[in-house]
Structure 1
Amino acid sequence: MLITVSKNSNEGYSSLQEALDSIPPEHISEVTIRIRPGVYEEKITVRQEAPPILLLGEDPDSTLISWSDNAHTLGPDGEPLGTFRSGTLNVFAENFTAENVTIRNASGPGTGQAVAAFVDAGQAVFRRVRLLGDQDTLYTGKGRQYYDNCYIEGDVDYIFGAATALFERCHLHNKRSRGYITAASTPEAAKFGYVFLDCRITGGAGVSEVYLGRPWRDYAHVAFIRTSMDASVTGEGWHNWGQPGREETSRYEEFASSGPGAHPEARVSWSRQLTPEEAAGYRVLTVLDGWHPEGY
């Protein structure tokens, strides 16, 4: 099933949410929603009962989904939305893929938690997607998630959550000094939390003292494998979030980091440098428990 969303009134739906809502409840096979270039200012929800969905833009530079809710925005009930209802794109479906689009929370710096993509899916894939925001840009709620050639920016805890998520060839961009890239809440029983393979980290002009992560929950797991890091990354690398006990339970790992921000000798003592043999075990199939996200 193919649905088109376009700013051209003569071509398909003008609203992405309307396109999603048009899918018949009894439809169970894959649905491709082709998004023509344009700025789509709307808050999107992909419901749990949705069939496998592919949101397919033409390219991230020309295809933008944007909204500006934050944790303090008042909802229909008159109460603040909170972090978990602030998302621009909210995914609850079991199988979801997005390609060649930009997803932005335009709330702006200093407005608090403001999620661009809230991903609470069984299996989710993002390819060539830009995720733009400040604090809490990407929430990875559950399931297995794969990010390939994506650009993700923010300042505080801008990748956070409990899912097992693999980031391959992604670009992470730090927008503010003394920030944190990850805030994992990996469950105790999970073998993997966040794994970054062959990624790069950059910072804006003058940005410094950014931590690779801090543990949102006790058993946070984050591994950076062959990641290029610029000088925005602090030598310590990792922060305990003011919870010394989490130094005993968190698993923070690196292998073959490079660039001015790679300082294995300066990292906190409770992080680890993996051996080549250990790092070889961080492969897509292994991290994602046998699932390789090649299309559907």
Structure 2
Amino acid sequence: MRRRSFLALPAAAAVLPAPRRTRLTVALDGTGDHTSLQAAIDAVPAGEPAVIGIRPGTYLGQVIIPAAKPLIELRGLGRSPSDVVIADNRANGTLKPDGTPWGTSGSASVTVDGAGLRVTGLTFANLFDEAAHPEITNRQAVAVLTRADKLVFDRVRFLGNQDTLYVNGGRNYFRDCYVEGDVDFIFGRATAAFERCHIHSLNRGSTPNGYVTAPSTLRTNPYGLLFHRSRFTSDAPDGTVFLGRPWHPSQDPEAIGQTIIRESWIGAHIPAAPWTDFGVWPWEEARFAEYRNAGPGATITADRPQLTDEEARTYTVDAALRGADGWNPCG
């Protein structure tokens, strides 16, 4: 009897069918499957991967991607990200029908609870008009709130004023994106890596003119907000915008915020002392650092902690996103 070698190839296995993937198109003029993004998301079977193409236009109304709808891909079908706009216009202090305020999280134009979301080539915006609503003092108006893991945003614009981008859970990767706002407009406790992004601070006509980041990274998380080879610009006067301040939600002492900016270009709107306190919480107790930045706002002073070369090898985009499962959205 001939003995079979353990190195011999097995008989051809049956080819398994590719997992089902829902494909939908959203168009304002009714030529697609749905006229709103929320309707398309609602139509995706729970747990089933989906690709949703969105034709040019401005789509108004809150959008929620629930935890039961992971692995959704949103594709803007315009020539540029500005052709497809997903937007809403409420703030923290805007009142619900029951007379209570929406709050910061409730103000989000888009809330992402579904893991594995991928977005390419479109714009998310919160269109809340501060000047038109002087009666509203709580003006936090979120464009996107993320609360899920393994999220990828590629060539996406995020537009707002205060609290534009609320990254509050999991690992988030932003590549070639544009983020615009004034006060704490990139904030939260998530691990969020920004690569080749354009970060633009609006001129709100006051001093200080604003704060780019407000991280609330938990002490146990080694990675918070990381900006690599990005560009920080503004129309505000020189030296009037801070790079960040440490946010402690509900005065949580375990929120030891981290913002690291490396190998990036920083404009003159950033002062020589770029970090500042947040209420009673001093910036020196947060995890703020820079590494090999350039530009008129990147001068090295005693108030600007710098990573050593050895530390810089630890704080890379790959390392921040890898996690225990080896996730690599950068490849």
Query: What band does the TM-score fall into relative to the shorter chain?
Result: over 0.9
Describe the SS at the equivalent of 1:39: strand
Identify the residue that residue 273 of structure 1 maps to in structure 2: 306
| Paired-residue identity, % | 39
Superposition CA RMSD, Å: 1.7
Structure 1 CA distance for aligned equivalents of residues 218 and 228 of structure 2: 21
Return the letter of the residue paired with 1:252: F
Task: Find the partner of 2:41 among 6, 15, 20.
Answer: 20
1:285 matched to 2:321: no
1:66 matched to 2:87: yes
1:252 matched to 2:288: yes
Q: 1:109 to 1:276 in 2, by over 3 A?
A: farther
Following TM superposition, the consecutive aligned residue runs of length 4 or more in structure 1 with deviations greater than 3 angstroms are 205-208
For structure 2, the 5+ residue unaligned runs are: 1-21, 249-254
Return the letter of the residue paired with 2:219: E
Identify the residue that residue 110 of structure 2 maps to in structure 1: 89
- Which range moved further: 127-136 or 51-60? 51-60
Task: Find the partner of 1:113 among 108, 132, 140.
Answer: 140
Tell whether the 8 Å contact from 1:254 to 1:274 is kept in structure 2 after alignment: yes
Q: Give matches, 1:199-210, under 5 Å.
A: 199-204=230-235, 206=237, 208-210=239-241
Q: 1:259 to 1:20 in 2, by over 3 A?
A: same
Identify the residue that residue 142 of structure 1 maps to in structure 2: 169
Task: Find the partner of 1:261 among 294, 297, 314.
Answer: 297
Identify the residue that residue 56 of structure 2 maps to in structure 1: 37
Q: CA deviation at 1:208?
A: 4.0
Q: CA deviation at 1:282?
A: 2.4
Question: Deviation digits for residues 82-134 of structure 1, max 9, x if unmatched?
Answer: 11100011111122111101001000346610000011112211110000000
Task: Find the partner of 1:226 among 247, 263, 266.
Answer: 263
- Which range moved further: 280-289 or 159-168? 280-289
1:180 matched to 2:180: no
1:4 matched to 2:25: yes
Structure 1 CA distance for aligned equivalents of residues 147 and 307 of structure 2: 30
Q: CA deviation at 1:72?
A: 1.0
Return the letter of the residue paired with 1:191: P
Structure 2 CA distance for aligned equivalents of residues 157 and 245 of structure 1: 16
Q: CA deviation at 1:236?
A: 0.3
Using the size of structure 2 for normalisation, the TM-score is 0.83
Tell whether the 8 Å contact from 1:124 to 1:144 is kept in structure 2 after alignment: yes
Structure 2 CA distance for aligned equivalents of residues 263 and 10 of structure 1: 53
Identify the residue that residue 122 of structure 1 maps to in structure 2: 149
Structure 1 CA distance for aligned equivalents of residues 129 and 270 of structure 2: 23
- Which range moved further: 237-246 or 43-52? 237-246
Structure 1 or 2, whichever has the larger Rg, is 2
Structure 2 CA distance for aligned equivalents of residues 122 and 205 of structure 1: 34
Tell whether the 8 Å contact from 2:258 to 2:287 is kept in structure 1 after alignment: yes
